[in-house]
Amino acid sequence: MSGPLSGVRIVEFAGIGPAPFAGMMLADAGADIVRIDRHDKATYPPQEKPLLDLWNRGRRSVAVDLKNPDGVELALRLIDHADGLMEGFRPGVAERLGLGPDVCLKRNPRLVYGRMTGWGQTGPLSTTAGHDIDYISVAGALEAIGRAGQPPLPPLNLIGDFGGGGMLLAFGMVSALLSAQKTGEGQVIDAAMVDGAAALMTMFHAFRAMGTWKDVRGTNLLDTGAPFYEVYETSDGKFMSVGAIEPQFYAELIRLLGLDNEDLPDQNDKAQWPKLKERFASLFLTKTRDQWQAIFDGSDACVAPVLSIPEAAEHPHNQHRGTFTEVAGVVQPGPAPRFGGTPSSIRRPPPNPGQHGDEALVDWGIEPDEIAKMRSAGAIT
């Protein structure tokens, strides 16, 4: 056991996307997390071959029938021993199961009860379905992403599900756990992806207030409007990213592109940005990505190769830092951030539903004879 959250116990109700990602972060940081999976997804004896849903790594799984009163009682007994709980149900589902925050906090007043939804626990949209793309749309994030004259470009599901969702919940859990240690009182965390995506846009609200951001996609400093913050194709059909915002970095970019003797427009002359972008684009097409990488490596021009997922794991910088690791034969991002005194770790690969039922339940205070009775009654698999 290692990590700054070693000794913290969390019950996680199985879900998809952001809540499991929060669980991954907390488990990597040392929390002992028991994941309650659906009993009809499990086999007994459980399968041993790890699953590939990497965001579920680091936890132990118990398969429980939450429609069985004995299954609900088992979940409550685990919650009695927990510091935190995380669920990603639609609003009202946990309450209908008899596992809502009022019930759980009455039994365990120190409990931190984390709730992960797209729209939040309240509001006109709270009970409607949605996905990342919908949440970031209403948050005002998606409209701003894309090139001039083109539709908004969905940035995978990084902003809603993971940045504005899973990380927001993980931050909320740790903050509330610290509060509970001081006050002895737990609380409910209403983590909504629409809120988190909106929070990630704070800088752009500031830019608008300053008058330095236009509500025209692809014309601003960071949305591919600027020639010095852009992606350029190389002669082999690959790409280089350029982020030379500061004047000294821009000067280095110009020098290494071989343009330092040309009469170029001022860096911040927005009227000349399209013309300058064409000049940069034509230059980048004269060499391969590897050739440009060799030119820019070690410089302060803020230029980097655009790597594929497998290429990223092989990059020398990432290999030096151990940014990626291999667990059970699968290459994957390692724990982040780094803790100097209490290092994080991936303690186990993603579990099969119910894989650690007996082991985890005994560790959490359930006697073996009780486990056998619950299995006979169909409360667990």
Residue 309's φ and ψ, nearest 5 degrees, are -60, -50
DSSP 306-357: ---HHHHHH-HHHHHHT-EEEETTEEEE--SS--SSS-----SPPPPTTTTH
Residue that has been written with the tokens 């821009």 in this structure: 250
State residue 122 phi and psi, 5-degree precision. Answer: -135, 170
Q: Are 350 and 50 in contact (CB under 8 A)?
A: yes
- Compute the CA torsion angle 149, 152, 153, 157 (nearest 10 deg): 170
Q: Is 102 a catalytic residue?
A: no
DSSP letter for each residue of 135-154: HHHHTT-GGG-S-TTS----
Of 53, 131, 236, 269, catalytic = 131
Asked whether the CA dihedral 214, 216, 221, 225 is positive or negative, the reply is negative
- Is residue 161 among the annotated active site residues? yes
Identified catalytic residue from 65, 83, 132, 161: 161
Q: Which long-range contacts (CB under 8 A, 24 or more apart) does 306-314 make?
A: 306/231, 306/238, 306/239, 306/240, 306/241
> So which residues are the catalytic ones?
131, 161
